[in-house]
């Protein structure tokens, strides 16, 4: 099995090098006119942003789907942390963090993660449902503190996410000072020739490769738990697949693999199933966004100036809680915000050129109602809830890399306005036959009418707010 995987990995590595070369070229060519490039969300950044602004656990009443590869493995769930038979000081740490009972993903995943013999797992559960706490608890439980060498590796896609995970581990291990933890991230140095004696290493793939394979500061062959956080980004071909493969190849065949992520696209899931032998796959079903409570309109505009006028007209007539306006590029977002600000509207802008801290600050102000309008791009299309938003405007229709209708992004953008039984309004500004085509495709895709709105007719506009 290991050999088979090794060969597969090598083949993939070569293919990836080639395709990455292609990618690099594409990126370079984009950089000259980056203003015109779609401003899309970076999944690792979005995840960090949500982690930081989230107040606590997202409780989910949704069902969990479990797929067992190993028919002999007993799979049960627990309703209390006691039932997991953790080391007493670890249990104390869990309670000290304010966790009274396991979350849904924890109650299902932990018995398997802690079972003997160890079981491999690929788990998917929405952001904020307690995945990090689940795998950190498993990592800490597996350490043998009588052995002074690394036994657990945990890889995250970015420096910030690795630090976040490390902080959870440090808190949970508060009463287990004998467990030693090390960060393999930029800025951390270990003198060449020194053997690392810490039990757990949490870090980013590049540094982990350097330490484990290049400088041999620890023996990858002695690792017994290998965790991939944000696994979809980690093993995506455009993510860190090459580096993860190289580390993964050196792991012993009995190493327990734990892959955790909020999403897996199907190609990534197929790949995960190749590299994780006999995994138990757990998926917490997602809460569906829906268009049921949303009135959808389109407005015909001749050009960008008319689009702008349409927004001002709607804004002048309808009493709106708060609005989010989506643009395709950063350039459009900043053009629109300057124009609206000049005309006396209080607007906020959130696009991909802001740091995570700046994005949090913008969102906090918007949540507090300090600005009524938030102009943004696809960096915000997923996952971030602002309850008071009643109007979503597509200044530019969502499209994919081939300039075709991106129905999924449309749903993510507007599917959050009409939640909890509240009514929402979505307005699509159409200024070309291409954007009209996108609008029609979206209408057909969801089977929900998008009505024409005459922006010059104040009575009609007034009706939409009613």
| Contact positions vs ligand ATP (CB under 6 A) | 47, 50-51, 56-57, 99, 102-103, 106, 125, 127-133, 262
CB of 46 or CB of 329, closer to ligand ATP: 46
Nearest-approach distance from CB 176 to ligand ATP, in angstroms: 18
CB of 94 or CB of 375, closer to ligand ATP: 94
Whether omega before 269 lies within 30 degrees of 0, making that bond cis, reads no
Nearest-approach distance from CB 78 to ligand ATP, in angstroms: 11
| Long-range CB contact pairs, 72-77, < 8 A, 24+ | 73/112, 73/115, 73/119, 73/280, 74/115, 75/111, 75/112, 75/280, 76/111, 77/107, 77/108, 77/111
CB of 51 or CB of 419, closer to ligand ATP: 51
CB of 62 or CB of 274, closer to ligand ATP: 62
Q: How many CB atoms lie within 10 A of CB 421?
A: 7
Nearest-approach distance from CB 134 to ligand ATP, in angstroms: 7
Angle, helices 159-172/43-53, rounded to nearest 10 degrees: 40
Instruction: Give dist(CA 14, CA 24) in Å, integer.
Output: 15
Question: Is residue 394 classed exposed, middle or buried when 0-12, 13-18 and 19+ CB atoms within 10 A define those classes?
Answer: buried
Nearest-approach distance from CB 223 to ligand ATP, in angstroms: 22
Is residue 150 a contact partner of residue 190, using CB atoms and an 8 Å limit?
no
CB of 127 or CB of 378, closer to ligand ATP: 127
Helix (H) or strand (E) holding 17: helix 2-31
CB of 125 or CB of 390, closer to ligand ATP: 125
Nearest-approach distance from CB 197 to ligand ATP, in angstroms: 28
DSSP E strand boundaries for 134-279: 152-155, 181-184, 200-203, 225-228, 256-261
CB of 57 or CB of 436, closer to ligand ATP: 57
DSSP 38: B
Q: How many CB atoms lie within 10 A of CB 140?
A: 24
Is residue 317 a contact partner of residue 427, using CB atoms and an 8 Å limit?
no
Output the six-digit token pair for 329.
């590029």
SS3 220: helix
> 9-28: buried (b, 16+ CB within 10 Å) or exposed (e) per residue?
beebbeebeeeeeeeeeeee
Nearest-approach distance from CB 56 to ligand ATP, in angstroms: 5
Nearest-approach distance from CB 387 to ligand ATP, in angstroms: 19
CB of 102 or CB of 111, closer to ligand ATP: 102
CB of 42 or CB of 341, closer to ligand ATP: 42
DSSP 288: P
Nearest-approach distance from CB 421 to ligand ATP, in angstroms: 26
Nearest-approach distance from CB 214 to ligand ATP, in angstroms: 29
Residue located via tokens 């070229």: 25
């Amino acid at each position: 099995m290991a050999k088979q995987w090794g060969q597969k990995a090598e083949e993939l590595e070569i293919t990836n090098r080639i395709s990455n070369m292609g990618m690099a070229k594409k990126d370079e060519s984009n950089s000259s006119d980056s203003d015109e490039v779609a401003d899309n969300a970076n999944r690792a950044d979005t995840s960090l942003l949500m982690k930081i602004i989230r107040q606590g656990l997202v409780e989910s009443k949704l069902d969990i789907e479990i797929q067992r590869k190993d028919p002999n493995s007993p799979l049960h769930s627990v309703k209390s942390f006691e039932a997991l038979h953790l080391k007493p000081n670890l249990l104390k740490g869990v309670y000290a963090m304010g966790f009274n009972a396991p979350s849904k993903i924890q109650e299902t995943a932990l018995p398997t993660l802690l079972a003997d013999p160890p079981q491999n797992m690929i788990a998917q559960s929405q952001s904020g449902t307690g995945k990090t706490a689940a795998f950190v608890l498993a990592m800490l439980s597996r350490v043998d503190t009588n052995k002074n060498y690394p036994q657990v590796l945990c890889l995250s896609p970015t420096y910030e996410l690795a630090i976040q995970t490390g902080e959870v581990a440090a808190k949970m291990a508060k009463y287990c000072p004998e467990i030693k933890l090390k960060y393999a991230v930029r800025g951390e140095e270990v003198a060449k020739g020194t053997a690392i004696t810490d039990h757990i290493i949490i870090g980013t793939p590049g540094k982990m490769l350097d330490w484990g394979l290049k400088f041999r500061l620890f023996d990858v062959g002695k690792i017994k738990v290998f965790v991939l956080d944000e696994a979809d980004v980690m093993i995506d071909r455009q993510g860190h697949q090459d580096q993860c493969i190289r580390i993964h190849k050196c792991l012993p065949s009995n190493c327990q693999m734990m892959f955790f992520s909020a999403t897996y696209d199907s190609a990534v899931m197929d790949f995960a199933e190749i590299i994780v032998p006999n995994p138990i796959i757990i998926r917490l079903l997602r809460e569906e966004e829906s268009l049921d409570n949303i009135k959808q309109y389109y407005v015909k505009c001749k050009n960008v100036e008319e689009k702008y006028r349409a927004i001002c007209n709607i804004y002048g007539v309808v009493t709106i809680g708060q609005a989010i306006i989506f643009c395709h590029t950063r350039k459009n977002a900043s053009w629109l915000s300057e124009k609206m600000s000049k005309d006396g509207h209080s607007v906020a802008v959130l696009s991909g050129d802001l740091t995570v801290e700046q994005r949090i600050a913008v969102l906090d102000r918007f949540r507090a109602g300090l600005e009524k309008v938030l102009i943004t791009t696809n960096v915000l299309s997923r996952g971030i809830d602002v309850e008071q938003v009643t109007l979503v405007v597509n200044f530019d229709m969502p499209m994919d890399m081939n300039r075709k209708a991106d129905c999924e992004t449309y749903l993510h953008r507007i599917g959050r306005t009409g939640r909890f039984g509240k009514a929402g309004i979505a307005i699509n500004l159409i200024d070309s036959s291409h954007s009209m085509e996108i609008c029609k495709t979206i209408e057909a895709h969801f089977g929900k009418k998008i009505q024409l709105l005459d922006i010059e007719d104040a009575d009609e506009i007034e009706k939409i707010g009613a």
